[in-house]
Structure 1
């Protein structure tokens, strides 16, 4: 299919709308405890549209948000913070547009009672189901409910949808995962996400008590129960295999929290799905796969980081239009719009949004570039290798894993260049622009002097001025190298089972072929820029790096001359 039939560049002016509905400028708030099926009382905050301070009595659809981060609380300065009155997820605009917004604390967090058994487990999903149906029965409700959230809140939205509440009609899921094992322990390696320490109970005590709890006594009792929460980092670190049985939950917990196992429930219920995640955010890889596995899903990606509203795009308008169609029956054409809207870095020389009937990566052609030493001899420094369409001389490059890494931000959602910490292979300057849309995959034939080691791979764009940025990255432990057939659509990417029976050490000195999928890219690499692949053995974003580093560090050899290469996802016939 020709590019003109797939692509359409959108300027900020073309994609944005002028303003949003402000029919209901005021808000009336109330909060209460709502018991779910096992009797646990969850704190629910309701925000009802109002005019001149008076609640509008007509029945309206409900937008539900389910959070572990406290629906309503006092910050360190004593100011009251409320999720529903922030427009980062368009919630304040949805109230103005005639929606009741409900924000509830999950069990074991905020002002809710109970303790959390596991991170986004089926108990939490069923809690979401019960609250959706409770909201649908209330006098203010039209009986139709939508959900929205990003990051953990995107996960509660996605998991609630898998329980198929009859009143849930549409979900807008941001930066969440389809396969939690493949995300949290990608390639068998637990890295940055989901491994931070749990918040202290004092954070939950800063929650605002529900209206009926005037003296905060119920809040105190609720938070006391939170001491029984399962520690999240320990839960993830304690399950090295996809089929590991957790000592905290007593089951193969990765399977319990794998959304892909419940997709048929969403399909049969006919729940509309919209997935959103930005390009400089690791969950984007999973968000695209989520859309790929639910036909009819829409997808949005901006240029920014974790859960930031895409700049230059009318995000609030898109959210309101989406729910207007599926919850109010508005004939606004959103269901007929192209399936995917996403930022392409370098489009028209600067960057812009494109709309396509295809998800990013669908229809891309793999262009193979081999790793070479780039010289007639075999000796080389760690960062002077080359890559090109030619296979080059057969040989091996060796590096020693370095643990003397620069410090990473506590929430380092994106990787930084690592070209001085391992082997690097760099192309010559491009003679013409190259459009990359989709998932790069790096193939390596490696040996190591230890039975297991971690491999991190980074794809960099190096400008004509020498400035480099990481545009994609991936990771794989040698012991997790066995490929398998995934139980869901992977859009052609390699998939590693992570099952205990499939995980095995690599005999010292024996060669193994690795296939490592990288995070997706969406950019036009300009003329004169170079592409670079770096291979390292550690990443500064590993929070447990000091605990897992080996002494002496592993030495890893990479075979070149046809056995190691990168497949680049070139779009539009490039």
Structure 2
């Protein structure tokens, strides 16, 4: 029987946590849809789609709880690119990637809405996930709670931007919002979008043309599409996304678009106390091969009683081999219907452990991944030749090596990645690499690796990227974690939230300072979290580089001549890699 492992290693049978038949029965096999413009507090009309459980063409007559999702990606549109002609109608609520179709069958009204300035909604975006948008979410939650089809209890769900709009709406604490399921979102947007002072791919892509929003399906009352066209015309005043983020290099930068310290406004960590006091139940989800997972994990650490889920795979992909729709439904059943189905006693965390029993499997634990991990240090060494030149030469060893230095010139001529390369690829050909001997026994890593390096550069600043690879016996490598930090952003400070013991770089303008060419500085770079058993015979490799192909502005920030970065080994501040080893 398939199962989960708990902390003690015993198997928890899947059947013991599966949804009972009554909860998954197709009680409402059909859907009755309607759409309407709902004005929020400043009068802006937002496009709302309502999906009521039904049998045939008759909607359920009893009051039901509501699940709400708030999207910038069009809640209902014609996919002209793939369908040809008018295209197939794509509806967020009828897709089960976020369990919405299953929730309708299980007796929930599902509502989706376009955020202001996107899709069929009127208005324009002042910023992204700002307080205006957050309070739009508040107004829609309370509107839904007042409708005759509603019990007055509302839940929210979303992943990626939709996870962010869920989190930000939660921060306004609507009285009717009882539970949220937040996927792949951030707690600290500065630490995510400009991690280590370096903007990368997330949130820096070009804005979409008007034709994208014009492909939205007009709302029921908008027979000739005139309201849709009028709404999309207002979107021309939207704040451009990439220039907004690129234009604020420091945590306390004042945005030219919003006129305030916008990073502070959109940092959900500022509102944690408010969410805790409101008693809104929280569930955080992401997948291990997805950069927001670090933020999701830290979010869970800052919300006592929250649940956490991490599956294998990439961005917002339902975890394979796991009853995702059942988990979502049980969660909302508990908090919106008062029906437990075992959810109230389930362990806090469920996560995929790559390599478990040689293959991989899910672990259920009352500890979050990384809690209880013991940092084990591996030190950068020179290998046989005395000066590191390649992955076959430089080593990671269990003891500090003699003093020495390794240098490389930053390579900006990197291959273009796919448009959304959610995960990094090995970079050993573009920097310095340090590799362990083949492991003589399996090594269980769960938590955050941290690269603690002594470095210098021949410029007043340089970007440092680090990658942790697992290399099998044939030499095939995969990136299992990565991080980044500009030397000028090296100063650390006490974070305004629990970082699970990780270094926190303030990013404040007063704390950002150049280095003198040749000055040796210490940098502590936390990497994305890992959850895997590295098998015996495999090796671990740390690569240090100066650029990453996923930087969308790589051509703009190119320095000529390219910086030369030096890694310093040995001595009192020996460069090392701390790995989160679990027993």
Question: 1:12-44 CA deviation, whole Å, 9 max, x = no partner?
Answer: 677655872310001000000000000000000
Contact between 1:180 and 1:257, CA under 8 Å: does it hold in 2? yes
Listed as ranges, the matches of 1:118-133 within 5 Å are: 118-133=127-142
CA distance in structure 1 between the aligned counterparts of 2:578 and 2:239, rounded to whole angstroms? 41
Structure 2 SS opposite 1:102:
strand
CA distance in structure 2 between the aligned counterparts of 1:13 and 1:373, rounded to whole angstroms? 52
Deviation at 1:376, TM superposition (A): 5.6
Listed as ranges, the matches of 1:33-432 within 5 Å are: 33-76=37-80, 77=83, 78-375=87-384, 377-378=386-387, 380-381=389-390, 384-432=393-441
Contact between 2:410 and 2:562, CA under 8 Å: does it hold in 1? yes
Contact between 1:46 and 1:101, CA under 8 Å: does it hold in 2? yes
Distance verdict in 2 for CA 1:110–1:416, change over 3 Å: same
Q: Could you say what the CA RMSD is over the residues aligned between the two structures, in angstroms?
A: 1.4
Distance verdict in 2 for CA 1:70–1:380, change over 3 Å: closer
Distance verdict in 2 for CA 1:9–1:567, change over 3 Å: farther
Distance verdict in 2 for CA 1:257–1:7, change over 3 Å: farther
Contact between 2:433 and 2:544, CA under 8 Å: does it hold in 1? yes
Distance verdict in 2 for CA 1:301–1:552, change over 3 Å: same
Say if 2:570 is the partner of 1:566: no
Q: How many residues align structurally?
A: 570
CA distance in structure 1 between the aligned counterparts of 2:508 and 2:308, rounded to whole angstroms? 31
Distance verdict in 2 for CA 1:141–1:17, change over 3 Å: closer
Contact between 1:70 and 1:110, CA under 8 Å: does it hold in 2? yes
Deviation at 1:258, TM superposition (A): 0.1
Structure-2-length-normalised TM-score: 0.96
Contact between 1:150 and 1:174, CA under 8 Å: does it hold in 2? yes
Worse overlay, 101-110 or 50-59: 50-59
Structure-1-length-normalised TM-score: 0.98
Contact between 1:241 and 1:498, CA under 8 Å: does it hold in 2? yes
CA distance in structure 2 between the aligned counterparts of 1:55 and 1:93, rounded to whole angstroms? 16
Distance verdict in 2 for CA 1:382–1:341, change over 3 Å: closer
CA distance in structure 2 between the aligned counterparts of 1:283 and 1:263, rounded to whole angstroms? 18
CA distance in structure 2 between the aligned counterparts of 1:543 and 1:454, rounded to whole angstroms? 14
CA distance in structure 2 between the aligned counterparts of 1:570 and 1:543, rounded to whole angstroms? 34
Listed as ranges, the matches of 1:485-504 within 5 Å are: 485-504=494-513
Structure 1 SS opposite 2:104:
helix
CA distance in structure 2 between the aligned counterparts of 1:216 and 1:8, rounded to whole angstroms? 59
Worse overlay, 361-370 or 7-16: 7-16
Contact between 2:146 and 2:152, CA under 8 Å: does it hold in 1? yes
Structure 2 SS opposite 1:420:
helix
CA distance in structure 2 between the aligned counterparts of 1:335 and 1:564, rounded to whole angstroms? 45
Listed as ranges, the matches of 1:442-521 within 5 Å are: 442-521=451-530
Deviation at 1:166, TM superposition (A): 0.2
Contact between 2:7 and 2:363, CA under 8 Å: does it hold in 1? no
Distance verdict in 2 for CA 1:381–1:280, change over 3 Å: closer
Structure 2 SS opposite 1:248:
coil
Structure 1 SS opposite 2:196:
helix
Unmatched 5+ stretches in structure 1: none
Structure 1 SS opposite 2:287:
coil
CA distance in structure 2 between the aligned counterparts of 1:52 and 1:476, rounded to whole angstroms? 57
Deviation at 1:480, TM superposition (A): 0.3
CA distance in structure 2 between the aligned counterparts of 1:419 and 1:220, rounded to whole angstroms? 50
Contact between 1:113 and 1:223, CA under 8 Å: does it hold in 2? yes
Structure 2 SS opposite 1:368:
strand
Q: Following TM superposition, where does structure 1 have runs of at least 4 consecutive aligned residues deviating by more than 6 angstroms? A: 11-14
Structure 2 SS opposite 1:429:
coil
CA distance in structure 2 between the aligned counterparts of 1:482 and 1:444, rounded to whole angstroms? 14
CA distance in structure 2 between the aligned counterparts of 1:8 and 1:129, rounded to whole angstroms? 43
Deviation at 1:377, TM superposition (A): 3.2
Question: 1:360-404 CA deviation, whole Å, 9 max, x = no partner?
Answer: 000000000000001263464476210011111210001110112
Question: 1:196-241 CA deviation, whole Å, 9 max, x = no partner?
Answer: 0111111111111111111111111100000000000010000000
Structure 2 SS opposite 1:153:
helix
CA distance in structure 2 between the aligned counterparts of 1:37 and 1:404, rounded to whole angstroms? 50
Aligned to 2:564: 555
CA distance in structure 2 between the aligned counterparts of 1:5 and 1:379, rounded to whole angstroms? 40
